Amino acid sequence: MIALFGGTFDPVHYGHLRPLLEVKQALALNQVRLIPAFIPPHRDTPGAEVTHRLAMLRLGVAQVPGFVIDERELRRGGRSYSVDTLQSLRDEIGAATPLCLIMGLDAFAGLASWHEWQRLTELAHLVIAQRPGAELPGSGPVAELMATARARHAAELQQQPAGKLWFQEVTQLEISATAIRAERARGGDIRFLVPDSVRQYIETRGLYQHQEG
């Protein structure tokens, strides 16, 4: 089974990488495609240029078996809607192959604001990793989706191409790219929050040295 994991990766950090590896192991995924957004729909313009975000992501996933960077959103340009990305991958793999979209719980909680969000579960399963500080919605359309689509066993994801939700327990790392950028802006040390190769890249190029707007 293959899975997608989209993000701004501004920069990639251990809060992305460790939970992702745990999801990969728990679901015995053959491949995880990390997909950097060109223009993320839900947030401000990224702090670092796309070339830097991509270079850091390459450093972050270097030599991790089964982790692959997929540049389709960068090639496509414009706003990076997950539904378009899923559709293009679905067109490649065919209608019958199971496909998972991995996201953190904070992202899932806001799912109803995503472009054509109801189509997401037509195209893929949603695999949700816990994230510190994020909570499941108690009511509303996302809560309704949980009530109807939640899988009881991970094996259910293999039995149909799309449409199920799976919540995966992962090591809780309270790391965010926002906090990393803020640490850099106040001249702090970001060691142990990101892979050392990524830290060196950030320091060498002087990224994130200025306070965000």
Cβ contacts of residue 111 below 8 Å, gap of 6+?
117, 120, 126, 142, 145
CB atoms within 10 A of CB 150: 14
The three-state secondary structure class of 32 is strand
In one-letter notation, the amino acid at residue 33 is: R
Choosing from 82, 85, 121, 176, the residue that interacts with ligand ATP (CB under 6 A) is 176
**Binding piece for ligand ATP, criterion CB under 6 A, among 6-14, 24-32, 51-59, 148-156:** 6-14
Q: Is 106 in the site for ligand ATP (CB under 6 A)?
A: yes
Choosing from 89, 103, 123, 194, the residue that interacts with ligand ATP (CB under 6 A) is 103
User: Closer CB to ligand ATP, residue 84 or residue 106?
Assistant: 106
Rounded CA separation 145/122 (Å)? 12
Question: Could you tell me if 5 and 34 are in contact, meaning their C-beta atoms sit under 8 angstroms apart?
Answer: yes
Distance of CA 187 to the CA centre of its chain: 27
**Binding piece for ligand ATP, criterion CB under 6 A, among 2-10, 89-97, 141-149, 186-194:** 2-10
Q: Is 24 in the site for ligand ATP (CB under 6 A)?
A: no
Chain contacts with ligand ATP (rule: CB under 6 A): 7-10, 15-16, 19, 43, 103-104, 106-107, 129, 131, 173, 175-178
